[in-house]
Each structure stands twice: as C-alpha cells, then as structure tokens.
Structure 1
Amino acid sequence: MRQVYKLKRFLLTLRIWLATALLFGILYAIITVICTYLGFGTPLIFAVMAIVVVFAQYMLGPVMVEKVMGVHYVSHHEAPNLHAMVDELAMNAGIPKPKVGIAETSIPNAFAFGRTKGDGRVCVTRGILNLLDEEELKAVLGHEISHIRHNDMAVMTLISVVPLICYWIFISTLFGDRDSDAGIIGIAALVGYLLGQLLVLFVSRVREYYADEGSVEIGGKPHKLASALYKLVYGSANLDKRQVKEVEGVKAFFVNDISDAGNEINDLRQLDSNMDGVISESELAELRNMKTSIGTGSKIMELLSTHPNMVKRIKRLAELSDT
C-alpha cells in the first residue's frame, strides 16, 4: 500500500503544480494585456507584479481564514483529547505538530491551513465536536493533517487569488471608460476568471481524494472517515443559508462542500443499508462490489464544486478498506 500511496501522492503533486503553473500563466497573460494597452511595462515587470500579488495572498491568507472562521487556539489543558489525537496523527505523518484551534460555530466541519508544514494549523468547529464520535473525529483530523503533509493547503491559498484578481479586473472595466481597449481587457479578464475558477476547483477536488487516503495511512479507519463524511453532509444540509454565505470564501478548506450538501443527500441514502445514520465497517465492505448511482445533476454540480461527489469519495474509501 505504501508504494501505491507514494505513486498517487506524486501524481497529486504533479497535477497540482501543473494546474498552478497554468493559473500563474493566466495571471501573467492578463497583466501583460493590461500593461500593453496602457503602454507601459516589460515582461519582467509583469512577472514581478504577478509575484507581488500572489505573495501578498500567501502572507495574508491564514489571517483571513482565522478572521472569517473566528478561530481561537486551544492549549493541551483546554482540549486534551483533541491535542492527543493531533499529536498521534502528526507523528504518524512525520510532520511538526500543527497548532490546534476551535471555531465557535454550529457548522459541522474541520479545516487545515497555513503557509508551510511548520506553520500548519488544524481547526475544528463546535458543530463537528458535537456531531462525531471520537474515532470519526480522529479520521477527519487525519484528513486535515494529510493536507498539511502534502502542503496542498498552501498551494490552495496561493492559487485562489488568481481568479479573484481576474474578476476584480473584469468588474473594473464595467465601471470604467467604455472604449475598445477596456472591452478587450474586460473580455480577457472574464475568460481568465472562468478558466482560473475551473482550475482552482479541479485542484481542490483532487487534493481531497488524496487527503482521504492520507488519513487512512496515518491511522484513520476507512469506515470511520466514511461515516464522518456521511454525517457531515446531513449536518451541512440543515444549515441556515446565511451561515453558509458567511463562510463561502473559505469552504474550499472544509472537509465537504457545505453549499452542495442538500443535493448529495438523495444519492447518499443508497450507502446506508439499515438507515441508522452511520456507515459501518460491514456496509463499507459491501460497497466495494456494489454498483452505485449518481444523478446527472450531481455529476454536473461536481464540476463546479470544491469537493468530489461524496458517493465517489466513500466508494474510494471502500476500496482502501480492502488494502
């Protein structure tokens, strides 16, 4: 399993960096178009401008996540069980122990962020602490620590700024001078935004699969992670729309796409054969050879989601439980 995992992790890294290079290429092209039509700058200046913008996002990204989620970091004395799980999982993952935080929100979720492995932070919400049992929570924490191990949370922080910059440029052309130059810049920025957003979503979905696998490798039980994901979808589907809107900008850091939870419930019912609200070890084993169905709407929504379809994720966990 270890050799297979290493190969898949290499493919993950390759996909992420290829997508990242393409995103920076889009940003560079947009800045080049703007500066060319404004009549100043050189390719070197364009590249420096892009680097400055991305570096600012890289430095400010963790602070923004903390502010949006209202994170407060807890000591070992305040949350001994939480710290014990993070201690064990970080040691198994071979990374420095991340800072441990809690966000006082009823949204059931967890998230990891930071600039480097040494700067990693793992946070849980009050909602998830009230929803999951200890082994389910441990599996979710393993998922988040795997994001730090892969260093993909830093990549997400970096690349998420590219479509945002393109969007700002597009909006600014709508309210500026309506000449042909502004129109060309606006069209280029809009195309850059759409392509950039699809690439960011692609990277986000890919990293979730491998964080699931990483959780299993460092100590999370496949059926416990599957059960946790199942519970999180149901917990997220009942959220107030205003709550979801408040954290829309950071949902890519969550374990599941809270905006799409309502659409995933119908497909997920086929996985819980006795309808007891959890995915047991035997149910996950049965899923290995079970043919699952995903609605057409769910397949389309997955392309526009920060996370893979939940039925597909749990199906992959079933395959992992056989290794």
Structure 2
Amino acid sequence: MARTRYASDRGLTSRMLVTMFLLGLVYVVFVGAFFVIAPKWGGIALAVAVVFLLAQYFFSDRLTLFAMHGREVSPEEAPELHGVIDRICAMSDAPKPKVAIADTDVPNAFATGRNQKKAVVCVTTGLLRRLDPVELEGVLAHEMAHVAHRDVAVMTIASFLGVCAGLITRFGLEWGLWGGFNRRDNNDQNTGLILLMVVAVSAVAYAISFLLTRALSRYRELSADRAAALLTGRPSALASALTKVSGEIARIPSRDLRSAEPFNAFFFAPALTKGFSVSALFSTHPSLDKRLAQLQKISGQLGRGE
C-alpha cells in the first residue's frame, strides 16, 4: 500500500493475501498441467495472455476512460469537483489524480490507473446531479482509497490466470467446433483428445479463478469503504451515498445498465439490470446490506472514540 493516511485493515488484508495465494496456487497447477498436456501450445497461449495483461496494465486508464466516454476536466471546467478532490488529497497526503467526467445518467464513479502517477478518478454526470457535496466527498474518498491501495494493479495481476484460461477455452472450443474434436486418423484423433483435455483443464481453471477474483474484488471494496469512512470521519455520508446511488441505479433503464455492466469491477456501486443475473450471484461488490453494516459499525467506533 502506498504511504498515505488511508487506514489499513489487517483482517481484510489477510483475506486478500489468502485469496491471492490460492490464485497463485491455481495458476501454478494450471500451467504445469497445460505444459504436460500440450507443451507445443503452451508458449503461444502464454504469450497471447501476457500481451493482454500488459495492455490492460499499462493502458487501463486510457482504455477505461475511452470505453466510458469520459474526458479529463480542468479546475476551471469543474471547480467544485476539483475542490473535493483537493480536500481529500490534503487529508490523505496523496498526490492528486487526474479528474474526469463521463456524460451518462448512470450515477457512479470509478478510479483507474496502475499507480498514483497514472491515476484517474472519474465521476458521471448522473452522480454529480444526485449527491450533495458531503456524499460526493465520501464516494471520491472511496475511489482514491482504491488508488492508494493500488487496486487496479492488484486486480489486473489477479485476473491474469482467468484471462489466460478463458482465451484458451474459447479458442479451443471454436477450433473444436470447426472439426478439431472429430478427426478420423490416429494422429488427428490424438490431437482432438489433447485439445479436449486442454479445454477441460482451462475451463476448470477459469471457473476457480473467476470465483477467487470476485471474492478478492469484494474484499477490496470493503477495504476502500472502511478507509474512506475513517479518513473523512463521516461513515454516515458514505452510507447515504451508497443507499442513494443503489436506489437511483434501480430506476435507470435496463438498456443503459446493460451497457455499463462490463465496467462493474471499476464502479463505486455495481450497475445491475433488474431480475436474475449472473452478476448478482458472482458480484464484484459486497451486498449493500454488508457495506452499510460495516459503515454502521465504524460509526459506532468513531462515536466511542476508538
């Protein structure tokens, strides 16, 4: 964690370390099995996955802003927004990130960038219209906690196994559907069997890494909530913002939410469409009740002077 005044949480940190250890263990097993089953394809698959990882790591700020139609704004263009960011930087002793605004009615915010020098904090116009200055400060303190904790870098590295396994599974299935599983001579049958084994191992590795990465993401959201509440000393303001944003998201048209859902891992609150969805089962964020319960506990601790 970068040297700022954001508070750490040993309990959450230990759970994140355990999750990262398990991800590393799955990665080692996956790579070992892959190179045993198909040593000729191992180098190619690994090289493709590394390219994706490096692109996401080094260009996450630009890619995310571009995808969300966000643009960097100057202090003259958004003086109130810059003022809130400046106050948080003074409280946390953190360098000021770039400030951006995305023109969408979906009320949300996100932080991106692999380190503090490359960090960008972006808010939507929908969020700016709905929150008062104190609530906005809580949300932005949460997002800047992600920057201080280097969450983008951590989640990019953590998702590497899932990206690698997912690519192999997808390409393997597509090749198999074009006849790779149904070769008739002995050599081709062996190739089809190897391909089938690679797809099976990759699919299992992807499923496990997916669950572990989602768990890690939920831990980091709780950690950012806690750090922001302790920094500002106003957990009730963050709780109010969470409640308001979650309620307003429920009123956003499903079409707009579907376009925003791919970026849930970055958002302050997930943009979930109404009804049953995989995102609700394997969410990147803890439930609203869990986040509010933690903030209520922190509020009690601050009230007792702990």
TM-score of the pair, normalised by structure 2: 0.82
Matched, 1:135 2:134: yes
Contact 2:272 2:279 in 1 (8 A): no
Contact 2:7 2:227 in 1 (8 A): no
Aligned CA distance change for structure 1 residues 302 and 93 (closer, same or farther; 3 Å) = farther
155-164 or 46-55: bigger deviation: 46-55
Segments of 4+ in structure 1 off by > 6 A? Answer: 45-50
Could you tell me which residue of structure 1 aligns to residue 3 of structure 2?
none
User: How many equivalent pairs are there?
Assistant: 282
Aligned CA distance change for structure 1 residues 301 and 252 (closer, same or farther; 3 Å) = closer
Task: Provide the rounded CA distance (Å) in 1 between the counterparts of 2:201 and 2:284.
Answer: 24
Task: Provide the rounded CA distance (Å) in 2 between the counterparts of 1:50 and 1:29.
Answer: 17
Q: What one-letter code is carried by the residue in structure 1 that aligns with 2:102?
A: A
- What is the 5 A alignment of 1:74-85? 74-85=73-84
Q: Deviations over 1:17-36 (max 9, x none)?
A: 44334334434544444443
Could you tell me which residue of structure 1 aligns to residue 15 of structure 2?
15
Contact 1:202 1:306 in 2 (8 A): yes
Residue among 307, 311, 321 paired with 2:285: 307
Task: Provide the rounded CA distance (Å) in 2 between the counterparts of 1:241 and 1:164.
Answer: 27
Contact 1:102 1:125 in 2 (8 A): yes
Could you tell me which residue of structure 1 aligns to residue 224 of structure 2?
211
Q: What one-letter code is carried by the residue in structure 2 that aligns with 1:26?
A: V
Aligned CA distance change for structure 1 residues 309 and 245 (closer, same or farther; 3 Å) = same
Q: What one-letter code is carried by the residue in structure 2 that aligns with 1:225?
A: L
Unaligned runs of 5+ in 1: 264-296
Contact 2:82 2:99 in 1 (8 A): yes
Task: Provide the rounded CA distance (Å) in 2 between the counterparts of 1:18 and 1:41.
Answer: 31
- Name the SS of the counterpart of 2:91 in structure 1: helix
Task: Provide the rounded CA distance (Å) in 2 between the counterparts of 1:42 and 1:316.
Answer: 44
Q: Deviations over 1:279-298 (max 9, x none)?
A: xxxxxxxxxxxxxxxxxx99
- Name the SS of the counterpart of 1:97 in structure 2: coil
Contact 1:12 1:210 in 2 (8 A): yes
- Name the SS of the counterpart of 1:101 in structure 2: strand
Aligned CA distance change for structure 1 residues 19 and 48 (closer, same or farther; 3 Å) = farther
Contact 1:113 1:120 in 2 (8 A): yes
- Name the SS of the counterpart of 2:62 in structure 1: helix
Aligned CA distance change for structure 1 residues 231 and 170 (closer, same or farther; 3 Å) = same
**Residue 150 of structure 1, CA deviation:** 1.4
**Which structure would you say has the larger RCO, counting Cα contacts within 8 Å and 6 or more residues apart?**
2
Aligned CA distance change for structure 1 residues 41 and 163 (closer, same or farther; 3 Å) = closer
Could you tell me which residue of structure 2 aligns to residue 152 of structure 1?
151
**Residue 15 of structure 1, CA deviation:** 3.1
- Name the SS of the counterpart of 1:252 in structure 2: coil
Aligned CA distance change for structure 1 residues 6 and 105 (closer, same or farther; 3 Å) = closer
Task: Provide the rounded CA distance (Å) in 2 between the counterparts of 1:57 and 1:21.
Answer: 22
Could you tell me which residue of structure 2 aligns to residue 223 of structure 1?
236
Aligned CA distance change for structure 1 residues 19 and 57 (closer, same or farther; 3 Å) = farther
Contact 1:139 1:220 in 2 (8 A): no
Task: Provide the rounded CA distance (Å) in 2 between the counterparts of 1:301 and 1:65.
Answer: 20
- Name the SS of the counterpart of 1:306 in structure 2: coil
Contact 1:108 1:127 in 2 (8 A): yes
Contact 1:31 1:46 in 2 (8 A): no
Matched, 1:122 2:121: yes
Aligned CA distance change for structure 1 residues 145 and 223 (closer, same or farther; 3 Å) = same
Task: Provide the rounded CA distance (Å) in 1 between the counterparts of 2:19 and 2:146.
Answer: 17
